[in-house]
Structure 1
């Protein structure tokens, strides 16, 4: 069920909308006729994203903002309301990271990743709630990762932030349920994606940063986020078979998984060649002197365009019912067969 049925579609806010998953998500909402507010730091990426939103059939509002600044995020939310009207959907997606062993990440760098990737979600959620709670309606989508449950080497700051998002979102869900609120929040856990982030993160590894295979196109994530925004009764969605496998293995054999990641996690996150990209930790990679990175990274040749597991995640209740009916049928057949043999 959609959050609103206005003639102009929903009012949607997407943070980190200048590139990668945020860029693809903004396009996907626009394709449904929604009005999309694009929040990010990079001017080049925001301008290009706005043009894509318009071409897809939506309306675009560009707001340059650093999500680690709570007042700036709050002001951005008010600007959206003043321009488009009440916010129906808020998607928290902005992040930054450092690819390096924990001992090689400076205190200021770790703090910066935490402020953007974790507190940016907190501030975005608080800003959204200020407008949604009085109306008793609206949806907040937290864009997560398999790394919200399972930390991996070389991404300690990012993993810590994603774990923190998972924790605060669970607390918030409990509070909204207690209040019988009409506001919903859900989380979408993503796999490795073909986005530009691997060429603009601060990297201290010997090789060039890359996602752990299998790699999915950002449009796979975007479809899941748009779906979650309209079906936020579920607490979370898993995207990609690798996400499901990681979360299940972490729940069942976490120690074994740690040993596996200790053996494979370094090589699987870097290519042999070295590349010095425009690290976006402190400033946007696509600023006035930069260029538009778009939604896709350099892994188009290997990236997967669909996720059958995503269908399973959406339809797990239906599948559960079917399995129950099937099991009951098998038991009944066995019982009848046993009676026939008597």
Structure 2
């Protein structure tokens, strides 16, 4: 079958790979329809994101972990709510089930988790086999919108970690796909949201969703957040950038007894004043991927806000054109908010 294969760091091409065949017990064969491309995909492609040696060779790999498709076949023992012909989205994470994180119900923090499209071959192919418990029905959502359930699940997890509730003021740092998803989710919870970015063009979808927007390239983010909250500071700050300067701004602006959630990924070091934690009694929280319950809530959010989600898909390409389209997204991050690859007909 046709697939996009990352042969080595920086090299991606369309080629033939073996068909996955019939699904085994508890497995689902999915005919893929739409695959979203995110920053992690780009970092994997360049080799900046490396899998541990214990996981085996990183390349070659069929990438693609944000995806929607149609169930083509069901293995024995699949849940009765799944049916051939049903459109679904896939929660790409599986965990070990044995470690402390798994035992306390936070399997998303499992140190040995596996991601479809990273540790095993993913969805930039005509078909892929996944575990039945990773499959979620999405009703009549269009494929490109349904593929956004995965990034929305990251946002749901961050909002859960931040305990965002009705009436609170929330500042979101970074207006990429995750920042946009956090904004949609926070507004859905009844919060008031301000979102910031140095790329002003990225702020338009959040403004259309009902958020206050701030061009961080021309304004003092900390001072403006203080004014917006009447001097109190926001109850919650969600960093979706991974930039040390943004995280430092988040700690500086958040209200006393507030929460700072870091969902942006980076290997950089951040320096923070110790008294910020003690003087304000802050909660500083990490957030990683999501649980199955988070993914189910993400599906419901995308269903409720499908029009807002559809605005986030700024670029589309067919599977045959995927390497060029992904290279364009890599080199034009300010222009491409969300690229979706159509795998129909592959």
Q: Structure 2 length normalisation: TM-score?
A: 0.37
More strand by share: 2
* Larger Rg belongs to: 1
* Structure with greater helix share of residues: 1
